[in-house]
Amino acid sequence: MPSLSTITDLANLKVEPHNKLKMDKAMPTLLDQTASKIVGQPINRLHGNLKVCGQATFTAEYHLDGQLYGVLVCSTIGKGEVIELITETALKSPDVVDIIVDFETFIRNPQQGGQKSAPAQGTDKITYLGQPIALAVAKTLEAATEAAKAVQVRYKDDSDNGAFDFEAEKANSVMMDGVPIKKQGEPEEALADAEISVDKVYYTPSQSNSPIEPHASLATWQDDELTLYTSNQMLAPCKQQMADALGIKADKVRLISRFIGGGFGSKLGIAPESVAAAVAAKKLGKPVLVVMTRPQVMETTVRRSNTEQRIGLGADKDGKIHTIIHDSTITNLPKEVFFEPTALSTPFLYAGENRQIKYKMVRMNQVLAGSMRAPGEAVGQIAIECAMDELAEKVGLDPIELRILNEPEKDPSKDIPYSTRQLVACMQTGAEKFGWDQRRTRPASVRDGEWFVGMGMAVACRVNHLQKSQARVTLTLNDEKLLGVEATIETDMTDIGTGTYTVLAQIAADMLGLPIDHISVQLGDTDLPPGSGSGGSVGAASSGSSVYLACEKLRELIAEQVGLDADTVQLDNGIVIRKAASSDNKDDQNQDDQNQDDSSLVDTIKSAAEEKAKAIATDVAEKIATKAGLAVERKEKPQFGDDDQRPLHQVIAQCQDNTLKALGEIKPGKTEKDYRQGCYGANFVEVGVHAYTGEIRLRRMTGVFTAGRILNHKAATSQCYGGMVFGIGSALMEEIVHDKRNGRLCNHDLAEYHLPVNADVPQLDVVLLEEDDQYTNPIHIKGIGETAISGAAAAIANAVYNATGIRVYDFPIKLDKLIDQLPDLPETATDATTAMSA
Ligand code: MOS
């Protein structure tokens, strides 16, 4: 297999056929023209049966001959230095092999997403409680666990100088390098002069990613080459991080993550168990498996930063917003560059000529703050959307009307158009489905027995991006398949439970005219072409586009083989045919017309120029090829009659090695700068708040979202359920409690860190509006994963206010924050059952 550097090396012309696209302009999509329409269908996960039967092998389930077990020894102080490790007792047990100490190489904390270098090393310096120090290795997990406990660590304890108490440390907040204040107009002045304003501070606590599969790595060396079975979201950067941490070349590292039990951002970079396993395996000459315990996942990987957000909204008396201020204070370990980007969508969510976005960082000796599902928007929109609810009340407008009134025509910060934006449609559809017209404006005016009942809404908004991503698709003969041919997708893209395997297969199935069971998908191995990985909701769009582009190239190659042009070839159920003329194919034609209408004259001119450039480039390449003695084959063009049909397997049988393959590559381009790309939605919630105890129960929740085309309605809907449930946790339960004396994570397991369980989740209703976005990528999709969580918690908070008249600014909203303010249950209150059926 050629390495990537050779694939991209122009001097080497023995390149495999490829199709590379930089998204510089609107692109039509062939998905409109395929014979089958598997894309979009709610088909089941390809590996669903394997997973529920326990047959999908996750990292901790691999077993290699002679494998040893490692358990991390973690710091019990929050700041200081390690003086000495006393290991005699730990080494006494017959099954214990070694206590591995390598202060220089071990990593102190995980790496942030996408980085190419190792995270902080030097584990003798303690920067937070829970930081790894050493690894106890034994023949059994039990012996390793006991040994890790028996290691005694002598510290120089500097906890007196530790930063453990946010309130106390806030005074030391600093601006970060490279994160200047963003300012338009005169926000502070305009807010002070506003006819109507809201100026409030919201607090959201640290939260734990804690995916269902704990972080785990199994390291094995063959000479100087490391293979690491691990649980990572983004393999290509993680491979570089591993190499950098170990001081070896990246081509000596292979990462394998075929199945991943969630990540939520905590597996974007390598975590401490990976380097520890690799160091131990090298030293001991045997494979070493390290699986974090649940408390270690929570104490030694990633949290979402707590935030303190000031939202200032200034409007005229009619509710027209002219000023938006979003100032955030967030936390992280010393020197870490990541900051919770709370105001990611603040520049473009609502209209307004005065705007300010400011971040201040407080350095804390607490577990690393990093990406957690919808970093930024998930908590940033809690603040913005609660403030909008308050403004609506002050202006005397319905919350939806206020938002419609402040709907911008263009991105108000950059003066660029939106690629697509259906926020108003999401709100209106949601209002109708949910029955928003039955909401009583006056708080605490609806009851159901001993419960106050209220309704709230908030919008969802999340930026959309594309990442460079590659995939190879290979067509081969396979007698076991009904149509005699099989397509194999290869990319180091991951499936963290989102359904990547399935949606990539759907794209290839339509593009190649094959049933889904004729597509095999190989993911999660750095020996495969590097994909985007799973993060920032870019995975499906980026890796899906690379698969699409590889398939597009295969269609061209097939067309060439049979004597058709690329734009006349149609692949239908294993048969190559000429694409039907417009009369037989009205839908396609209409769609073409539509695309034509949509693309501006400029685009047309641009694309003509690019076609020409392409032709010249091909010509040049051929000339160079001839010079290099690699004559470009020029065969006699075969004939293909109008009614001809050629089985695809016959075509493949005529190809060299009975194989046809192509590499696809997508890259972000100008459309990301020229068009504001985002996903939009709206969440609607009905809550009950118990009039005497303050207990809060969700009664129902409706979410309406847009994310371009939907690849798989079942998988996309599941993503939205997940986001809405995250919103419930964020509004009502989730909160890391750090001990203010030493930073210890007091609630470091899933018994004490409260998450919504089934009984906390009411009927969730998800609607995905139709959308098509030709500026995002050649498959016209947007990232759905992190959209539904954004703002979901605000909808709940706003419903709690509508139910009780109490606004809580300090999340999560728990009964103790309501109980002493609850109004009396008025006898005249409208009974919910009457109100709801009215
Ligand atoms: Mo996501 S927080 O970008 O994995």
The pLDDT value given to residue 446: 94
Check pLDDT > 90 for residue 828.
Answer: no
Position in ligand 1 atom list of the atom nearest CA 371: 2
Average confidence (pLDDT) over 187-194: 98
Q: For a substitution probing ligand 1, which of 268, 302, 340, 538 has the most ligand atoms within 8 Å of its CB?
A: 268
Position in ligand 1 atom list of the atom nearest CA 786: 1
Average confidence (pLDDT) over 259-279: 98
Strands 696-706 vs 216-222: parallel, antiparallel or unpaired: unpaired
The pLDDT value given to residue 642: 86
The pLDDT value given to residue 831: 60
Check pLDDT > 70 for residue 56.
Answer: yes
Helix axes 792-804, 713-732, angle to 10 degrees: 50
Place of tokens 């009780």: 804
Contact 204, 811 (CB under 8 A): yes
Helix, strand or coil for residue 376? coil
CA-CA-CA-CA torsion sign (290, 293, 299, 301): positive
The pLDDT value given to residue 493: 98
Contact 60, 292 (CB under 8 A): no
Average confidence (pLDDT) over 460-487: 98
Model pLDDT for residues 690-703, shown as the tens digit of each residue = 999 999 999 999 99
- pLDDT > 70: what percent of the chain? 90
State the pTM of this model.
Answer: 0.91
Element (H, E) at 338: none
Model pLDDT for residues 776-789, shown as the tens digit of each residue = 999 999 999 999 99
The pLDDT value given to residue 582: 53
Ligand 1 centre to CA of 519 (Å) is 28
Check pLDDT > 50 for residue 217.
Answer: yes
Cα 64 from Cα 808, distance rounded (Å): 53
The band of 639, judged by pLDDT with boundaries at 50, 70 and 90, is: confident
CA contacts within 13 A on the Cβ side of 783: 27
Q: By mean pLDDT, which of 423-432, 459-468, 603-612, 679-688 is the weakest?
A: 603-612
Model pLDDT for residues 725-738, shown as the tens digit of each residue = 999 999 999 999 99
Check pLDDT > 80 for residue 275.
Answer: yes
Average confidence (pLDDT) over 512-539: 97
- pLDDT > 90: what percent of the chain? 88
The pLDDT value given to residue 14: 64
Q: By mean pLDDT, which of 11-25, 493-507, 571-585, 615-629 is the weakest?
A: 615-629
Cα 98 from Cα 575, distance rounded (Å): 61
Cα 600 from Cα 610, distance rounded (Å): 15
Average pLDDT over the chain reads: 92
Check pLDDT > 50 for residue 713.
Answer: yes
Check pLDDT > 90 for residue 677.
Answer: yes
Position in ligand 1 atom list of the atom nearest CA 113: 3
Q: For a substitution probing ligand 1, which of 305, 342, 371, 726 has the most ligand atoms within 8 Å of its CB?
A: 371
Enzyme catalytic residues: 786
Residue 139 burial (C-beta neighbours within 10 Å; 0-12, 13-18, 19+) = middle
The pLDDT value given to residue 703: 98
Element (H, E) at 571: strand 569-572
Average confidence (pLDDT) over 485-503: 98
Whether a cis peptide bond, with omega within 30° of 0, leads into 812 is yes
Ligand 1 centre to CA of 451 (Å) is 37
Q: For a substitution probing ligand 1, which of 342, 719, 786, 787 has the most ligand atoms within 8 Å of its CB?
A: 786
Check pLDDT > 80 for residue 85.
Answer: yes
CA contacts within 13 A on the Cβ side of 133: 30
Model pLDDT for residues 775-823, shown as the tens digit of each residue = 999 999 999 999 999 999 999 999 999 999 999 999 999 999 999 999 9
Element (H, E) at 645: strand 645-647
Ligand 1 is surrounded, with C-beta below 6 A, by 233, 263-265, 268, 371-373, 375, 535-536
Cα 526 from Cα 385, distance rounded (Å): 41
Q: How far, rounded to the nearest angstrom, does the alpha carbon of residue 445 sit from its chain's CA centroid?
A: 40
Q: Which amino acid is at 752?
A: E
Check pLDDT > 70 for residue 595.
Answer: no
Check pLDDT > 60 for residue 631.
Answer: no
Report H helices in 156-201.
166-169, 187-193
Q: Which backbone phi and psi does 290 adopt, to 5 degrees?
A: -125, 120
Q: How far, rounded to the nearest angstrom, does the alpha carbon of residue 287 sit from its chain's CA centroid?
A: 31
Ligand 1 centre to CA of 696 (Å) is 29
